[in-house]
Structure 1
Amino acid sequence: MTVPNTPPDPAPADAQATGPGAAPDPFAPPHGATALRDGAAPLGQRLLPEVRIGAGIVVASLVAGLVMAALWAWLAPKVPLVVDGDRILYGDPEGEQRAGADAVFVLIGLGVGIVTALGAFLVTRRRGGGIAVATGLTVGGLLGSIGAWRIGRWLGPSNDLIGEARRVGDGGHFDASIDLGALGALLVWPMAAMVVLLLLSAAFGKREEDPPPYWAPVAQAPVGVPPAGAPAGPWNGPSAGGFEAGPK
């Protein structure tokens, strides 16, 4: 019993056509090569430009992190300390310098995130952005923020309180080292960059052409003109005398 719609077995002539002496199949892929569908390039060639763009954004973010570190070390409010005998006391016990250092770091990170996102969007707008831009901004913003925190602490006042107290002596004043009280401030830069990139892409990003609606009329070829890709020959279209050519 044969299952319905089962194609018939190939005829002997068809079986012989695939033998060693058969004519080559014009629709077969080239010998020794793999045909690429839709002209797609190999995966490595497609990923290489994306990796370059993402790596470039990360490097630019690290450079921006150095600028952020210098600004934070310069603008962050310092905690004044005073030496009283063998004790180190706060010069302003009710001061908000610690919270002010976090606020300055957040504001600088917000500004740097906006600038990096705007720069990355303008540079990659012609190609349409892509996942490499978003990934580069996220990774670069997080690494740049961490680097700004570490380097800013190093550029600021020394964290060796005992050494500073001995240096200034009894009754002397010096500043404590700057630090972040809330490590969540490190996420401000990458989050701001992603929000700005999303807004810019939605407002000014590269657009793809919309497909025609389903009710749009389909362009018909004129009478007597063969469709695109059809083989030329005496069987297409009417003859010069108005009669359709055909085999006799």
Structure 2
Amino acid sequence: MTPPPPPHERSSRDVGRPPSDGQAAATTPHADEEGPAAGQPRHGWWYEQDGPGMKAEIREAAVTAVAVALGGALLGVLWWWLAPRVPYVGDVAGDGWVVYLKDAEGEQSVGVDGTFALLALGFGAVSALAVFLVRRRGGVPLVVALAVGGLLGSVLAWRLGVWLGPSSDLIARARSAGDGVAFDAPLKLGAKGALLAWPFAALVLHLGLTGLFGPRDPEQSPPAEPSGAQPGA
């Protein structure tokens, strides 16, 4: 049996030969040094192992904010339809007209604000439930989008309801109705704090649903003790 050649002879003899599989594996740089291998999760602020990543979350949050804000159109129509009417009366005074409330002690103005607030609370609850059912993970971008979309939807509903309601030119309305004839006043949101009802209800309900029914983080079990270790040692 021929003994293996000395190392110096073997190195000179192997010049020009392709490296074996073992040598190729030893000289190939690891995937972690060059970058993530194909099919392996990437890490960073835009990639997350357990989630869609920050870029995807921001994109979904933007879509959510726009969709929630567009719901304000329906809120504005419902407010214009369901809000109580505030009656005004116009009287001729000399060469001009005097317009005043028909019932000075009436609560119709309070009812207009209350109707908007109640409808906004309902829209906030519906939007929070819909967002939770579509995407149960939650997250800061989604919560911010829900609040911003609710506020924009409230502003849109307010302006749309005023636009759909009677004209704000009370003198022209009084002349059109006639002396001493009651007419409806334009829609007016006296309590601007009602604009916060939608985002407030949406945030509270969404956080509650996420806390009760959202995904739970896996509990980490404590490390097992070595088999040879004795308690109290």
TM-score (norm 2): 0.74
Residue 188 of structure 1 deviates from its aligned partner by 0.9
Match of 1:69 among 61, 66, 76: 76
In structure 1, the residue matched to 2:206 is 197
1:35-77 residue CA offsets vs partner (Å, 9 max, x unmatched): 5996326728833321221122112212210110011111111
Match of 1:116 among 100, 113, 127: 127
In structure 1, the residue matched to 2:115 is 104
1:213-236 residue CA offsets vs partner (Å, 9 max, x unmatched): 35x55799xxxxxxxxxxxxxxxx
Mapping of 1:173-212 within 5 angstroms? Answer: 173-212=182-221
In structure 2, the residue matched to 1:84 is 91
CA distance in 2, matches of 1:219, 1:129: 42
1:143 aligns with 2:152: yes
Moved over 2 A (4+): 23-30, 33-39, 41-48, 216-220
Task: Give the secondary structure class of the aligned counterpart of 1:181.
Answer: coil
CA distance in 2, matches of 1:219, 1:43: 42
CA distance in 1, matches of 2:109, 2:226: 70
1:57 aligns with 2:64: yes
- Unaligned runs of 5+ residues in structure 2 are 1-25, 229-233
Task: Give the secondary structure class of the aligned counterpart of 1:93.
Answer: coil
CA distance in 2, matches of 1:218, 1:107: 62
In structure 2, the residue matched to 1:155 is 164
1:208–1:91: structure 2 CA closer, same or farther, 3 Å change rule? same
CA distance in 2, matches of 1:26, 1:88: 86
Over the residues paired in the alignment, what is the CA RMSD in angstroms? 2.6
Q: 8 Å contact 2:69–2:151 — kept in the other structure?
A: no
Residue 169 of structure 1 deviates from its aligned partner by 2.0
Task: Give the number of equivalent residue pairs.
Answer: 193
In structure 1, the residue matched to 2:43 is 40
1:166-202 residue CA offsets vs partner (Å, 9 max, x unmatched): 2112122211111111111111110110100111011
Amino acid at match of 1:66: A
1:47–1:154: structure 2 CA closer, same or farther, 3 Å change rule? same
CA distance in 1, matches of 2:77, 2:135: 28
Task: Give the secondary structure class of the aligned counterpart of 1:43.
Answer: coil
In structure 1, the residue matched to 2:222 is 213
CA distance in 1, matches of 2:227, 2:42: 26
- Unaligned runs of 5+ residues in structure 1 are 1-22, 221-248
Structure of higher RCO (CA pairs closer than 8 Å, 6+ residues apart): 2
1:24–1:198: structure 2 CA closer, same or farther, 3 Å change rule? same
1:168–1:218: structure 2 CA closer, same or farther, 3 Å change rule? farther
Amino acid at match of 2:42: G
